[in-house]
Structures are given as C-alpha cells and as structure tokens.
C-alpha cells in the first residue's frame, strides 16, 4: 500500500512540474525568433530549414570543423525535425524547448529521489530548477535547444548510472548492460552539446554522496575504492576527452579562440572568480538578467577579492561539514565543477558570463540550500514551518519573476532594448538591436546603435560590416565602402565584409571589381547563398552565362526558396541569347515555384513566368501572365516595369519568345528584374 502511495505521489509531483512549467512558459509560443544565433541554427541555415534530408544528415554528422558552431549533430537533427514538421513557425519550436525543459525537471526529481529517497526535498529542488528565472535564457531561446537536449540525455545517463551503482543483482550481464546504457546516453548528450564533459566527475561526486561508495570516515580501510571507481569511469573520461578536442578544434576554426579577442590568463581567472560569485548572487536575487553580459576586461580589485572571499568561505564551510553534512560539499562542487567548461578560463567569445551556462550547475546550489534548510529545521516544528514557508515563498517568487523575464524574449527589439537597460557598454546588444532596427527599415536608428557598438569595440569586423550595410541602405555609399575596407583591414578573410563589398561594387556597376570580392567571400564561407546569387548577377553582367547559371544553382541548393536566385535563373534560362544555355521547362518550374511562394502578387516574378511560358511555346499562358504582371506593376507604381510587360505581351501575341540583349550592352546598374529579385532574396 505504501509503495503504491509513493508512486501516486511521485506521479502527482511530475504532473505538477509539467503543468506549471507549461503554464508559466506558454507565452513563448507566441514569440518570434531572435537575430542572435537563431539565424545560424534555424532561420538562415539551409541545411536545417530543408528539414530531414540525406544531405542534411551527412552535414550534421561530418562537419566536425565548426562551419556554423561546434559539433553537435543531434541538436541539428532536432532542429531539422522541427522544420520538417512546423516549417519556420516559431511557436512550435519554442514549445518543444518548453517540453524538453519540463521533462528535464521530472528527470531531476526522479534522479534525486532514487539517489536519496528524500521526497519533498527532491521535489523542491526540481521545482526550483523548473521555475527559476535564470532558466528563461535556455528555455525561451530557440537556439538553446542544445542545452535542454543535452541535459535530457545527461539526466538519463545519471539515472541509469544510479541504477547500476545501486544494483544488488548478481547478474553481471544485466548490470553491465545498465552501465553501457548510461555510457551511451552520455555519448548522445555530448552529441547535443559538449558542456556535458564534466559528467564523469559528477559521477564520482555522487559516489561519495548519496551513493556512499566512498566514505570519509573509513577512507583508510577503503583505499582501493577510489582507484576502482576512477577506473570504472575511464570510458566516460575518454568520451569527454574526445568531445573536448573536437570542440577546441571547432572553436579555433570559428575564430572564437582568436588571440585578438583573448584575454590574459590572469584576467580570465579574475573573471571566473567574479562570475562564480555573480551566478550565486543571481541565484538568490535574480534581478537585471540579460541575454548577454559584456566582459569588462579588467574587474576592480574589490570585486575579485570579495568574490574570492565568498567562494573560500562557502568551500570552507562545506569541507568543515563534510562528515556530518556531505550534501553541502557535493552540492557546492556540483555547482563549481559543472560550470568549469563555460566559466571563461578558456575564453570562447566576448561574454563574461551567461544565464544559460547556469542551467545545470544551479542544481548544485539548490541541493546545498534545500538540504541545508532541512538540516537546520529538524530541531523544532517551528523551524520546520519556517523552512517550508521560505521554500514556498522562493517558488512563488521564482514563478512571478520568471513570468516577467519571459516577456523580454518576445522579439529581438524587446530583448536587446532590455539588455541595454540592465548592462553597460554592451556592444553585442547594440549590434543586435541595430540589426533588428535595420530589418524593420529604421536604418537611422540602426546606424545609431552600430555607431555606439563601434565606440565600445572598434576592432570588430562584423560591426564595421553591419554599419556599412546600413549606410549603403541610406545611399551613403562612400561611407559604406570605408567601413567595409576597415572590416577587411581588421580581418582580410571576413566573409560578410567581402560579400557586402562585392554587392556594393556590383550595385555600382563595377562588376569587374566586384567579382574577386564575391569569389573570396565564397572561399571564406562556402554556405554564403547571397554571395552565390550576387556573383551570378555579376557574371551575367560580364557575359559569363554558364558560370552564372552554376552560381545560381548553388545559391538555390543552399536556399531552395530564395526569390532572387529563383527569378533570375528562370529569366536567364528562358531569355538567354545563347540557345545552348536555354532550358524552358526548367525555367517554368523555377518561375512557378517563385510565384507560388508569393501567391502571384509580385509583378517581376509573374513577368518572368510569362517569359518562361513563351520559351516553351505556351503563348496563351504567356499573354495571360504578362497582362497580370502589367496590372501588378501599375498597382505598385512600377511604371517602367508595367511598360516593359506591355511590350512583352505584344511579342507573345505575335507567338515570339523574348530574348535578352547581350550582356555587353549593359553599362549601368542592375536592371529592374535583378534589383527586385535581389531585394526579395
């Protein structure tokens, strides 16, 4: 009867965790993607947005070099599956993150209950984990799928390791099967995010408490226990080492370990000490949370000394109580140890810390606090009541604060505006807010934010490129050229700067000068679909049609729904003066796809479809499409395009297809079709 009651009670806690977590995080299902990593992981990643494909599977598992980020194939597959099912509708992507987070909270509860049997303490830790505001960074951010997913496999690995360690069975085969399953789950977790590399050390901590496979009081009598337990973890350490090597190689390829952005070891150690203290402070008082915290470079001595003193005091307390209250040391070392890969001792990026890095480490602090409160409250019923009220108040406070924090994640403008309000000298927030403003067409505000970001960090090639793009949009081309040149002086291989320089030169009609920049952009970043498209336009202007067709095909391989390449390749295949390069059926397929994407509401695309119909001899369809294109152009105020379509319709009525004049006759800027299509892409 008691066993059945315990099962029902555990099921009730799991249900509560899921329902409340879903309730508090439900607003994220109405949030948009943000322009910080979501572009790399989702919205601008052609492998991901194509869904589950053989090419995507191969890319996810074989790109060990960090083409977009470090190696985590299962994370890529998770995003691909979401795109297969939901497309780029952000709501379901966010909901999947919330579901994984709720599952992680349940697994944490079951893990701690299996380890300790302390039902309500385990429930309290799981609830704090599920509802604490520091977790919003991970759960509300689509690109942080890697974090919730690797935690899922990590907690499952801990569960099966616990079953293995506590097993009393004499069936060695069954026990080793459980061990191998734990090892396999750990490997899967590393394939989601390499931050799980500290798990073997965490297993040793759990061996000490609460598994009691190592006991301080009898350490001399159990001298063989620790070496045996370390030997038992060797397969886990081997996987950790392999993952670490791959991750370092990927970060080097990405330039994240570039000495230009790296701080000295002394400054990194200072930041690590201060960050540990800041994580503790934000655990107890989660105020002024931001998506990114800028690295100050050099922390004041008082901050470093105070942080070191705090860490020493807590560590000393935990060691002092090691025999009577081992959970203090285990909880504290869980926090300190699991944070090691992301604490900044190896500088990867420009942040000083990040809320998402605390997702799993914070569990150690919760164990320290909840078990510590329980220990303090055992003496009298009054103390027990006070401890219960403290935990309850903490949970309610977390839910309220989390609900407010979630609101900042609704879109890029809201998120980075908030970040600027709670941090100082945050060039990352200024840059991303500038990108968001530029996407909204507010280029003046974008230039203001890019300028402020450059004031803080003038040696950032990406910032120089971004402000150049905004200035070009404002027609300030000379200033744009100056910033692109500065970006390339800082980093001659910066793909985006090369690409934008080539685009601007091409738009200015300087096609011969543009070509080497665009080709260099492709050499620096093979997945630059925009560079392929713009290079194709330049090659057309130079009369290099065959090469242009190849570039357009590559752009469409990377982005099958890009309107610019779809339209321009269809036009080229339908109207090319060289009969050996024309392909009417292919032109019809491409043009129909572009028109389908835009519901036949874009004049230039419908006009291209008319030309494709004429090329295959469907002149009646060509006339109908040409007249539709003319109507759309007139409605949009595109008088020149309307007049051109009127002339083309007369040609189609005469049962003749259109032929583009030779490229050498073009001396100015891109024609109407190219300009429109490039903007659409």
Q: What is the DSSP string of 69-128?
A: SS--HHHHHHHHHHHHHHTT-HHHHHHHHHHHHHHHHHHHHHHHHHHH--HHHHHHHHHH
Q: Is 669 helix (H, G, I), strand (E, B) or coil?
A: coil
Distances (CA, A) of 162 to 85, 110, 115, 668: 35, 11, 7, 72
CA distance 517 to 501: 7
What 3-state class would DSSP assign to 293? strand
Averaged pLDDT in 10-residue chunks for the chain of 681 residues:
82 96 98 94 85 88 66 94 94 98 98 95 98 98 97 98 86 88 97 95 96 70 74 96 85 57 81 96 96 90 96 97 95 97 78 94 98 91 92 97 97 97 95 95 95 94 95 93 95 89 88 87 70 82 88 84 89 91 94 90 93 94 94 90 92 92 46 35 28
Among residues 665, 666, 671, 633, the alpha carbon closest in space to that of 649 is found at 633
User: Crossing angle, helix 563-575 and helix 584-597, to 10 degrees?
Assistant: 150
3-state secondary structure at position 65: coil
Whether residue 210 is preceded by a cis peptide bond, meaning omega within 30 degrees of 0, is yes
Tokens 């509802």 correspond to what residue? Answer: 131
The SS3 of residue 352 is: strand
pLDDT of residue 64: 59
| Predicted local distance difference test score (pLDDT) of residue 586 | 94
Going from the C-alpha of 520 to that of each of 460, 493, 535, the distances in angstroms are 19, 8, 11
**pLDDT of the residue at 141:** 97
Coil, strand or helix at 387: helix
- Determine if residue 215 is left, alpha or beta; phi over 0 gives left, psi from -120 to 50 gives alpha, anything else beta: beta
pTM reported for the whole predicted model: 0.86
DSSP 8-state assignment for residue 198: G
In degrees and rounded to multiples of 5, residue 294 shows phi and psi of -65, 145
Look up tokens 């397969």; give the residue: 235
Query: How far, in whole angstroms, is CA 293 from its chain's centroid?
Result: 17
The two counts, helices (H) then strands (E), for the chain are: 33, 2
433: helix, strand or coil: helix
Q: What tokens does 491 get?
A: 């980093």
Domain positions in the chain: 2-407, 565-681
* Closest residue by Cα to residue 276 from 203, 327, 333: 333
Q: How far apart are CA 108 and CA 334, in angstroms?
A: 14
Closest to 229 measured CA to CA, from 201, 258, 268: 201
* pLDDT at 535 (0 to 100): 83
- Give exposure, 466-497, as e/b (b: 16+ Cβ within 10 Å): bbbbbbbeeebeebbbebbebbbebbeebbbb
Spell out the residues 6+ positions from residue 652 whose beta carbon is closer than 8 angstroms to its own. Answer: 610, 613, 614, 619, 622, 623, 626, 658
| Cβ-count burial 344-362 (b if 16+ within 10 Å, e if not) | bebbbbbbbbbbbbbbbbb
For residue 546, count other CB atoms closer than 10 A to its CB. Answer: 11
| CA neighbor of 337 nearest in space, from 184, 239, 197 | 197
* Contact between residue 529 and residue 545 where contact means Cβ atoms under 8 Å apart: no
Using an 8 Å Cβ cutoff, are 328 and 318 in contact? yes
- Residue 397: how many CB atoms within 10 A of its CB? 15
Query: Distance (Å, rounded) from C-alpha 207 to C-alpha 214?
Result: 6
E-assigned strand segments in 207-310: 293-294
399/30 Cα distance (integer angstroms): 19
The three-class DSSP label of residue 50 is: coil
Q: Which two tokens stand for residue 469?
A: 């793009």
Q: What is the dihedral of CA 561, 565, 566, 567, to 10 degrees?
A: 130
- Which two structure tokens, joined as six digits, stand for 488? 């390339």
Dist. CA 446–CA 25, nearest whole Å = 31
pLDDT at 178: 95
Residue 543: how many other CB atoms lie within 10 Å: 15
Longest dimension (CA), the chain: 102
pLDDT at 248: 78
From residue 174, how far is each of 162, 168, 178, 234 by CA, in Å?
14, 11, 6, 20
CATH number, span 565-681: 1.25.40
Query: CB count, 10 Å around CB of 312?
Result: 10
Q: What is the pLDDT of residue 247?
A: 82
Are β-strands 293-294 and 351-353 bridged in parallel, bridged antiparallel, or unpaired? Answer: antiparallel
- Pairwise CA distance, residues 3 & 225, whole Å: 33
Sign, CA dihedral 321-324-329-331, equals negative
At 601 the three-state DSSP class reads coil
Residue 628 token pair: 């539709």
């Amino acid at each position: 009867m008691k066993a059945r009651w315990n099962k029902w009670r555990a099921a009730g806690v799991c249900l509560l965790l899921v329902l409340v977590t879903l309730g508090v995080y439900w607003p994220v299902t109405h949030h948009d993607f943000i322009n910080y990593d979501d572009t790399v992981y989702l919205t601008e990643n052609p492998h991901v947005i194509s869904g589950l494909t053989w090419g995507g599977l191969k890319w996810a598992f074989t790109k060990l070099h960090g083409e977009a980020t470090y190696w985590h194939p299962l994370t890529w597959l998770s995003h691909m599956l979401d795109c297969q099912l939901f497309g780029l509708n952000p709501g379901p992507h966010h909901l999947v993150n919330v579901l994984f987070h709720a599952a992680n909270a349940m697994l944490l509860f079951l893990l701690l209950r299996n380890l300790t049997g302390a039902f309500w303490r385990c429930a309290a830790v799981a609830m704090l984990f599920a509802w604490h505001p520091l977790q919003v960074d991970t759960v509300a951010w689509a690109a942080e799928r890697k974090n919730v997913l690797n935690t899922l496999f990590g907690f499952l690995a801990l569960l099966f390791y616990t079953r293995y360690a506590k097993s009393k069975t004499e069936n060695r085969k069954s026990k080793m099967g459980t061990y191998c399953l734990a090892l396999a789950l750990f490997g899967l977790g590393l394939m989601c995010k390499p931050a799980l590399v500290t798990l073997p050390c965490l297993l040793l901590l759990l061996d000490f408490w609460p598994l009691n496979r190592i006991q301080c009081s009898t350490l001399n009598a159990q001298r063989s226990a620790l070496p045996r337990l370390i030997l038992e973890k060797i397969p886990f350490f081997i996987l950790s080492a392999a993952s670490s090597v791959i991750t370092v190689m990927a970060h080097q390829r990405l330039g994240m370990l570039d000495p230009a952005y790296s701080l000295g070891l002394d400054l990194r150690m200072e930041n690590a000490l201060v960050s540990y203290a800041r994580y503790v402070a934000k655990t107890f008082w989660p105020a002024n949370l931001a998506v990114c915290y800028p690295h100050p470079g050099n922390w004041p001595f008082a901050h470093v000394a105070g942080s070191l003193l705090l860490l020493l005091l807590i560590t000393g307390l935990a060691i002092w109580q090691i025999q009577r209250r081992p959970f203090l040391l285990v909880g504290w070392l869980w926090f300190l140890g699991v944070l090691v890969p992301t604490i900044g001792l190896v500088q990867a990026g420009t942040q000083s810390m990040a809320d998402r890095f605390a997702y799993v480490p914070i569990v150690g602090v919760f164990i320290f606090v909840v078990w510590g409160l329980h220990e303090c409250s055992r003496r009298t019923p009054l103390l027990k009541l006070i401890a219960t009220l403290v935990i309850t108040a903490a949970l309610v406070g977390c839910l309220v604060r989390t609900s407010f924090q979630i609101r900042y994640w609704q879109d890029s403008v809201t998120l980075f505006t908030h970040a600027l309000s709670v941090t100082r000298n945050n060039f990352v927030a200024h840059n991303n807010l500038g990108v968001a403003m530029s996407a909204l067409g507010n280029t003046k505000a974008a230039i203001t934010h890019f300028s402020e970001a450059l004031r803080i960090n003038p040696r950032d090639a990406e910032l120089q490129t971004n402000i150049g793009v905004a200035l070009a949009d404002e027609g300030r081309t000379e200033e744009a050229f100056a910033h692109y040149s500065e970006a390339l002086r800082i980093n001659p291989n910066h793909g985006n700067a090369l690409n934008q320089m080539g685009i601007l030169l091409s738009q200015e009609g300087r096609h011969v000068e543009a070509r080497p920049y665009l080709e260099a952009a492709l050499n620096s970043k093979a997945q630059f679909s925009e560079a392929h498209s713009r290079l194709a336009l330049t090659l057309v202007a130079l009369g290099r049609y065959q090469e242009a067709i190849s570039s357009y095909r590559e752009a469409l391989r990377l982005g099958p729904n890009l309107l610019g390449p779809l339209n321009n390749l269809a036009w080229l295949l339908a109207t090319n003066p060289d009969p050996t390069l024309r392909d009417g059926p292919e032109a019809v397929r491409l043009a129909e796809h572009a028109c389908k994407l835009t519901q036949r509401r874009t004049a230039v695309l419908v006009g291209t479809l008319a030309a494709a119909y004429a090329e295959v001899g469907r002149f009646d369809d060509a006339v109908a499409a040409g007249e539709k294109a003319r109507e759309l152009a007139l409605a949009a105020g595109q008088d020149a395009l309307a007049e051109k379509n009127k002339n083309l319709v007369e040609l189609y009525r005469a049962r003749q297809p259109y032929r583009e004049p030779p490229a050498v006759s073009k001396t100015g800027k891109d024609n109407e079709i190219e300009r429109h299509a490039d903007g659409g892409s």
